[in-house]
């Protein structure tokens, strides 16, 4: 007996060791996927680890990094929070959480996290760098420079700290000090294109055009795909009246970045000076890409304000009867520009390395300068316009630009609700790995009665490609009904009729099922779905259906769009069937999901959210419910709650959620 006990104990140790080995394997694969940019794949592996080890701080930390890279900053913060709760002395987690708060422009919380991280790791140059960036975003220039000094105390050859300090010095007006820092960077990293680019901008500030031109040449030599370097070099050439050389540089900038408004604007001015064709089209494209380059509209607005100031009483009489909003149109100073001294040396860093570079928020206080003056001759007005563009051309590329870099959050997707769930089927022994399946006991009971042939499942994915299979099952149940007219057989055939789109025959079979067995909850569920599909087809034929049920920023429900009574009656019948389903089977969470979908279409958003809450309580990993609840919350202006729900949906496999988080929540 003792020997048996020992053997059993050794067997348990072997199993434990094997499980540990597998967990380590999943952790390594997750980390590798993060490093190669497969962030959604990494999250899948960290989810597996956390199923078996829910108190492993590192799994939450690295999953937070993957979400961070997907720009799901709130989801990342949640994971960093859990990692810190499990492991309070975790400086890397505090630092990464600070970076996530910084991305959400919550600089106060970011600095608090950096302070906490420094308590545990006081000689980490990266934390000083990051805290300096956050302080500079708060206009605390002296505090930022002091943090960069601390980073340089830890590592005197930190090019990141030197680059950041040079930016802070330019913001403070210490141009020569900035150039001195950039000289050091170039000595340490002679092939660092961004250092030459920034030094060129600094030298431009001192009107040292020859030196600035040499720096731009070097920057382009080391990084020939940097559109901003070509644009800025074109500006220098234009300053030196080499307009044709400038146009060539603007051409290259536009090839590298077709949405760079400043390059079109600069090229338009150079073409206009040389009286070359096409300058008006360039002005038009620049204005379309960025309204601040719409100089014609600004000129008209400036003239309007000048007229209002010159003839205030006459203007009041002219505006009589118009809205207060029109009287106040053009608030602020029209015809003015802002100067932005942000430098282009920001590089994307992996939070795993916790190495932030220069923040896009490191900007000088806005300075206003009028550039339209009707009393000035045309040549002076043109000169002011050139100066305006030179200043604006130093901006970093915006976050709103469409990117096709393979990251899921940058893909251009159609934003739509996750569709309703329906009862579907496979052939016996068929497997479809593209369609995630939820287990439900009510569906399993039907499968048991069918001896798992057909094999029913519940899904909201497409049934394309299975129509022939469904038609064959209709023939099969025709024979079964000929032998035995039971509620079960009618239910089966009714399901297959609905799957083939023959909704009238489906309703006939489902009505017979319910007449024979009024306690058959699934029959009410399928009948509600069938009625909805019929109504959806009618709406499409009538041109009333919209692709997106919840349009972010456009609060118009389907019932506001069309208020005909028959449609309202059909929706009422659908909701009644879902209610009966849930009365007979309160744990059937798909019923709550589908009913919420209908209520969203009807504009009953609070009711829908209550149903989605219930569905998630019953199935905590109900990805589609998190997704639809997130969209609905965003629509109702609960940005924070919506972002967290979408983060959970993305974590559970609906990767389009990350695109919505980036576009509407950050």
Q: pLDDT (tens digit, 9 = 90+) per residue, 612-633?
A: 999 999 999 999 999 999 999 9
Sequential DSSP letters for 111-171: HHHHHHHHHH-TT-HHHHHHHHHHHHHTT-HHHHHHHHHHHHHH-TT-HHHHHHHHHHHHH
Q: Which of 287-291, 461-465, 655-659 is the least confident region?
A: 461-465
Q: Which of 73-77, 352-356, 370-374, 447-451 is the least confident region?
A: 370-374
Q: Percent of the chain at pLDDT above 70? A: 74
pLDDT at 307: 66
| 237: pLDDT strictly greater than 50 | yes
Average pLDDT for residues 97-103, to the nearest whole number? Answer: 96
User: What pLDDT band is residue 436 in, cutting at 50, 70 and 90?
Assistant: low
DSSP state of 422: E
Beta strand pairing call for 422-426 and 455-459: antiparallel
User: What pLDDT band is residue 491 in, cutting at 50, 70 and 90?
Assistant: very high
pLDDT at 402: 38
What the block records as the tokens of 130 is: 């990051």
Average pLDDT for residues 537-551, to the nearest whole number? Answer: 61
Q: What residues does each domain of the chain span? A: 2-52, 422-665
CB-CB neighbours of 107 under 10 Å = 21
Q: What does the alpha-carbon distance between residue 223 and residue 225 come to, in Å, rounded to a whole number?
A: 6
Q: Which of 15-19, 311-315, 357-361, 596-600 is the least confident region?
A: 357-361
| 555: pLDDT strictly greater than 50 | no
Q: What does the alpha-carbon distance between residue 477 and residue 224 come to, in Å, rounded to a whole number?
A: 68
Structure-model confidence comparison of residues 314 and 473, the more confident one: 473
The gap from C-alpha 428 to its chain's centroid, in whole angstroms, comes to 40
If you search the block for the tokens 């959050």, which residue do you land on?
409
Q: Percent of the chain at pLDDT above 90? A: 61
Phi, psi of 369 (to 5 degrees): -145, 120
| 399: pLDDT strictly greater than 50 | no
| 89: pLDDT strictly greater than 90 | yes
Average pLDDT for residues 578-594, to the nearest whole number? Answer: 96
Q: Which of 315-319, 382-386, 403-407, 495-499 is the least confident region?
A: 382-386
Rg, C-alpha atoms of the chain: 32
Structure-model confidence comparison of residues 601 and 593, the more confident one: 593
| 227: pLDDT strictly greater than 70 | yes
SS3 category, 502 = coil
User: What pLDDT band is residue 453 in, cutting at 50, 70 and 90?
Assistant: confident
Average pLDDT for residues 540-547, to the nearest whole number? Answer: 61
| 141: pLDDT strictly greater than 50 | yes
User: What pLDDT band is residue 381 in, cutting at 50, 70 and 90?
Assistant: very low
Average pLDDT for residues 454-479, to the nearest whole number? Answer: 87
| 361: pLDDT strictly greater than 60 | no
pLDDT at 409: 62
What the block records as the tokens of 377 is: 């001759």
Q: HSE on the CB side for 203, CA within 13 Å?
A: 22
> How many residues make up the chain in this entry?
666
DSSP state of 225: T
Q: Please provide the distance, in angstroms rounded to a whole number, between the alpha carbons at the two ends of the chain.
A: 64
The domain 422-665 having CATH identifier 1.25.40.10: the answer here is yes
What the block records as the tokens of 238 is: 């234009």
- What is the pLDDT of the chain when averaged over all its residues? 80
pLDDT at 325: 36
By 3-state DSSP, what share of the chain in percent is helix, strand and coil, each rounded to 5?
A: 65, 0, 30
User: What pLDDT band is residue 404 in, cutting at 50, 70 and 90?
Assistant: very low
If you search the block for the tokens 């250092």, which residue do you land on?
195
Instruction: Give per-residue pLDDT as tens, 23-48.
Output: 889 999 999 999 999 999 999 999 99
If you search the block for the tokens 């394997």, which residue do you land on?
25
User: Where are the alpha helices (H) located in 543-588, listed in sequence order?
Assistant: 558-561, 565-584
User: What pLDDT band is residue 567 in, cutting at 50, 70 and 90?
Assistant: low
pLDDT at 462: 78
pLDDT at 413: 53
DSSP state of 395: P
pLDDT at 310: 62
User: What pLDDT band is residue 568 in, cutting at 50, 70 and 90?
Assistant: low
Q: What does the alpha-carbon distance between residue 486 and residue 517 come to, in Å, rounded to a whole number?
A: 9
Instruction: Give per-residue pLDDT as tens, 243-257.
Output: 999 999 999 999 999
Instruction: Give per-residue pLDDT as tens, 278-330.
Output: 999 999 999 999 888 887 777 667 667 766 766 664 444 444 344 333 333 33
Average pLDDT for residues 542-549, to the nearest whole number? Answer: 53
Average pLDDT for residues 51-68, to the nearest whole number? Answer: 95
């Amino acid at each position: 007996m003792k020997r048996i006990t020992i053997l059993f104990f050794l067997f348990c140790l072997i199993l434990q060791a094997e499980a540990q080995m597998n967990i380590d394997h999943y952790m390594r694969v997750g980390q590798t996927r993060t490093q190669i940019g497969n962030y959604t794949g990494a999250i899948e592996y960290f989810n597996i680890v956390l199923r078996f080890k829910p108190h492993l701080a590192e799994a939450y930390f690295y999953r937070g990094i993957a979400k961070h890279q997907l720009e799901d900053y709130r989801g990342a913060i949640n994971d960093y929070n859990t990692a810190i709760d499990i492991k309070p002395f975790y400086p890397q987690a505090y630092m990464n959480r600070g970076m996530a708060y910084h991305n959400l422009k919550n600089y106060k919380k970011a600095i608090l996290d950096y302070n906490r991280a420094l308590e545990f790791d006081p000689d980490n140059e990266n934390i000083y760098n990051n805290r300096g960036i956050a302080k500079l975003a708060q206009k605390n220039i002296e505090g930022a420079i002091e943090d960069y000094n601390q980073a340089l105390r830890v590592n005197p050859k930190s090019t990141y700290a030197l680059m950041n300090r040079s930016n802070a010095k330019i913001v403070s007006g210490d141009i020569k000090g900035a150039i001195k820092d950039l000289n050091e960077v170039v000595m340490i990293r002679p092939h660092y294109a961004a250092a030459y680019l920034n030094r060129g901008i600094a030298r431009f500030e001192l009107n040292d055009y020859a030196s600035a031109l040499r720096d731009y040449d070097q920057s382009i030599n080391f990084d020939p795909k940097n559109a901003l370097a070509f644009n800025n070099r074109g500006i220098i050439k234009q300053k030196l009246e080499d307009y044709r050389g400038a146009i060539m540089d603007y051409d290259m900038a536009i090839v590298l970045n077709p949405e760079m408004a400043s390059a079109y604007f600069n090229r338009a001015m150079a073409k206009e000076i040389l009286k070359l064709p096409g300058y008006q089209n360039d002005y038009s494209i620049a204005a379309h890409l960025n309204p601040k380059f719409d100089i014609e509209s600004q000129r008209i607005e400036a003239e309007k304000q000048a007229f209002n100031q010159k003839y205030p009483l006459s203007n009041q009489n002219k505006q009589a009867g118009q809205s207060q909003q029109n009287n106040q149109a053009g608030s602020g100073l029209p015809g003015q520009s802002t100067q932005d001294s942000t430098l282009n040396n920001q590089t994307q860093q992996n939070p795993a390395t916790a190495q932030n570079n220069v923040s896009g928020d490191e900007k000088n206080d806005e300075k206003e300068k009028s550039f339209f003056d009707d009393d000035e001759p045309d040549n002076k007005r043109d000169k002011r316009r050139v100066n305006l563009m030179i200043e604006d051309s130093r901006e970093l590329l915006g976050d709103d630009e469409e990117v096709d870099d393979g990251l899921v959050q940058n893909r251009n997707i159609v934003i739509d609700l996750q569709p309703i769930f329906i009862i579907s089927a496979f052939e016996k022994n068929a497997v479809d790995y593209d369609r995630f399946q939820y287990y439900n006991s009510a569906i399993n009971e039907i499968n048991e009665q069918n001896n798992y042939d057909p094999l029913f499942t519940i899904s909201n994915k497409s049934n394309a490609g299975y129509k022939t299979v469904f038609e064959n099952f209709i023939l099969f149940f025709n024979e079964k009904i000929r032998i035995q007219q039971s509620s079960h057989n009618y239910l089966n055939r009714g399901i297959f009729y609905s799957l083939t789109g023959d909704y009238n025959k489906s309703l006939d079979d489902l009505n017979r099922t319910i007449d024979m067995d009024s306690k058959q909850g699934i029959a009410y569920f399928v009948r509600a779905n069938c009625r909805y599909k019929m109504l959806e087809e009618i709406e499409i034929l009538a041109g009333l259906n919209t692709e997106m049920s919840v349009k972010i920023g456009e609060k118009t429900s389907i019932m506001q769009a069309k208020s005909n009574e028959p449609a309202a009656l059909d929706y009422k019948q659908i909701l009644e069937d879902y209610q009966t389903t849930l009365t007979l089977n309160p744990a059937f969470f798909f019923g709550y999901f589908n009913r919420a979908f209908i209520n969203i279409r009807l504009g009953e958003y609070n009711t829908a959210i209550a149903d989605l809450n219930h569905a998630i309580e019953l199935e905590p990993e109900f990805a589609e419910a998190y997704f639809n609840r997130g969209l609905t919350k965003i629509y109702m202006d609960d940005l924070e709650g919506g972002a967290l729900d979408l983060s959970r949906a993305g974590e559970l496999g609906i990767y389009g959620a990350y695109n919505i988080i980036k576009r509407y929540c950050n």
